[in-house]
Amino acid sequence: MPSICFYFQVHQPFRLRSYDCFKIGYEHNYQDDLKNREIFDRVSTRCYIPANNVMLKLIEQHQGKFKIAYSISGTALEQMENYRPDVLQSFQALAKTGCVEFLSETYHHSLSFLYSKEEFIRQIGRHKEKIEQVFQQSPTIFRNTELIYNNEIANLVTELGYSGILCEGLERILGTKSPNFPCHPPKNANIKTLLRNRKLSQNIVLGFATNEWAEYRLTPMNFTRSIQQTRLPGETINLFMNYEIFSEHRWPTAGILNFMAQLPGEIFEHSDFDFKTPSEVVACNDAQEQYDAHYLNSWADDEHDLSAWLGNTLQQDAIERVYSLEKLVKETGNEELIDNWARLLSSDHFHYMCTKHWKDGDVHKYFSQYNTPYDAYINYMNIVTDLEYVLEAHCEAVTGE
């Protein structure tokens, strides 16, 4: 029996306050609490609460046959606790159904694998502890920030004890192979790679991008027809996407929540598919083929590489500077200082500095609170400079010099 695996990314960063050069050395609070609360409250009202209600009803309606998975960043979980406990409770209600799986990731939604394996492992461990505490689940499947993946990441995640990892199913790596079967990295059969079916995932993501041409909009019926060519036992259509497509990145009137509310019933009635969580896919299917990803890739932008965060000198300078402080920060042993530094590692800060144009550029502008990428860079670097002053003062206090 072929399967469908729904996975949703839930993430909100701690956004930074407006921080000009005159604050350096004097003001050490970097987060914009009002902006963070405002945005999280809006997204919760428009997306998280209504989408969670739909998912819970689907699980109840189909008597546990409908299953889904989430990865929720540590920074999003903290904001649920701080600003909207009702959102956290709604995710906990989903967890109690036994039909929802929570995956492991980097706590701060960071690019830490690229710059510090130590920090990468620390964030994964901290995130896993948070998931165990909040949802009473111990994750066995890992997804890296924005599905950033290569063979080396898969091998390290294997050493950390995970049995599966998610990534983008790229045609340039797959060749003529299908993304609908679990794969494994070269010379490593101890972990299974679940590949996003990019075409069908994007059909949902883009199917409600506009209110125009409603007669051509994606419907549960035509989506079900599009998956019916997938009929081989062991095939799984991995539908991976941002959770915020449900009435946050898409207007509520676009109808995407109604589409989701009707889709499982349509699939059960007109196909022989079932729904599985990522760990069930890993447990039920062998990995027959290699997915040999020498180079780092992601699910972002048209290039599916790292250019969304590291494509220009602004981004590269900012991220190298903040990671250069790691040793000094951790040597302080000050948990608050370490956390302030780690919040600066969230990939979003570098995403705002992207200088791409056309369609990808519009995506970056949509998420950014800054007027230009250069404003984002200057604001960020002012904060990093102040953190350097804080670290210098701490060292002087400890050594007495």
> Is the residue at 381 inside a domain?
yes
Query: What is the share, in percent, of the chain residues with pLDDT greater than 70?
Result: 92
Q: Are residues 142 and 278 in the same domain?
A: yes
Q: Are residues 250 and 387 in the same domain?
A: no
Query: What is the share, in percent, of the chain residues with pLDDT greater than 90?
Result: 83
Distance of alpha carbon 291 from alpha carbon 185, whole angstroms: 5
Mean predicted confidence (pLDDT) in 120-133: 98
Q: Are residues 277 and 373 in the same domain?
A: no
117-121, 210-214, 216-220: which has the minimum mean pLDDT? Answer: 210-214
Mean predicted confidence (pLDDT) in 194-216: 77
Q: Are residues 143 and 210 in the same domain?
A: yes
Our answer to whether residue 146 is catalytic in this structure is yes
Whether residue 24 has pLDDT greater than 50 = yes
Q: Are residues 88 and 146 in the same domain?
A: yes
How many domains does the chain contain in total? 2
Residue 147 is part of a domain; what is its CATH number? 3.20.110.20
Q: Are residues 34 and 112 in the same domain?
A: yes
Top-confidence residue, 369 or 325: 325
Whether residue 364 has pLDDT greater than 50 = no
Amino acid at 78: E
Write the DSSP string, 73-109.
-HHHHHHHHHH-HHHHHHHHHHHTTT-EEE-B--TT-
18-27, 54-63, 366-375: which has the minimum mean pLDDT? Answer: 366-375
> Is the residue at 137 inside a domain?
yes
Final residue of a domain: which of 264, 290, 316? 290
Distance of alpha carbon 244 from alpha carbon 43, whole angstroms: 8
Q: What is the pTM of this model?
A: 0.93
Please report the pLDDT score of residue 191 as a whole number. 98
Q: How confident is the model at residue 401 (pLDDT cuts 50, 70, 90)?
A: low
Catalytic residue, candidates 101, 146, 168, 326? 146
> Is the residue at 297 inside a domain?
no
Give the end-to-end CA distance of the chain in Å, rounded to a whole number.
70
What does the pLDDT look like over 390-400, one tens digit per residue? Answer: 999 988 777 66
Final residue of a domain: which of 290, 321, 345? 290
> Is the residue at 208 inside a domain?
yes
Q: Are residues 334 and 282 in the same domain?
A: no
Q: How confident is the model at residue 232 (pLDDT cuts 50, 70, 90)?
A: confident
> Is the residue at 216 inside a domain?
yes
> Is the residue at 320 inside a domain?
yes
Task: Please state at what angle helix 151-159 crosses helix 117-135, rounded to 10 degrees.
Answer: 60
Distance of alpha carbon 237 from alpha carbon 232, whole angstroms: 11
What does the pLDDT look like over 30-89, one tens digit per residue? Answer: 999 999 999 999 999 999 999 999 999 999 999 999 999 999 999 999 999 999 999 999
Please report the pLDDT score of residue 200 as a whole number. 94
Strand partners, 100: 68
Whether residue 212 has pLDDT greater than 70 = no
Final residue of a domain: which of 227, 259, 290? 290
Range of the domain at 350: 307-399
Distance of alpha carbon 400 from alpha carbon 378, whole angstroms: 33
> Is the residue at 295 inside a domain?
no
Mean predicted confidence (pLDDT) in 149-173: 97
> Is the residue at 280 inside a domain?
yes
For residue 297, the 8-state DSSP code is B
